Amino acid sequence: MSKREIQGVVVKISGDKTASIVVERRVMHPRYHKTVKRFKKYLIHDADNSLSVGDEIVAVECRPLSKSKSFELKSVVKEATS
């Protein structure tokens, strides 16, 4: 079974070795047939505290590391411009 991968943007550094990301997906509205955006936040395990707010990352599913953290950092797609 392959592990799920999500891609999103870091919106907050949430404590030690943890970052909060927001993942955007586009779905078709059932009645109006217009593409609408849906957002969901995930907590990501960042083992070496290398992320900063604004980074675009790919995370992969892993065993539950805490109550709400079950994804870990795979790679940084694009670093934040600051």
Would residue 82 count as lying in a domain? Answer: no
Amino acid 3: pLDDT: 87
Amino acid 2: pLDDT: 79
Residue 48: give the domain boundaries: 5-77
3-state helix, strand, coil in the chain (%, to 5): 0, 55, 45
Reported confidence tier of residue 1, pLDDT bands at 50, 70, 90:
low
The number of distinct structural domains making up the chain is 1
Q: What is the CATH number of the domain that holds 28?
A: 2.40.50.140
Report the C-alpha dihedral over residues 29, 32, 36, 41, rounded to 10 degrees. -40
pLDDT in tens, 6-58: 999 999 999 999 999 999 999 999 999 999 999 999 999 999 999 999 999 99
Would residue 63 count as lying in a domain? Answer: yes
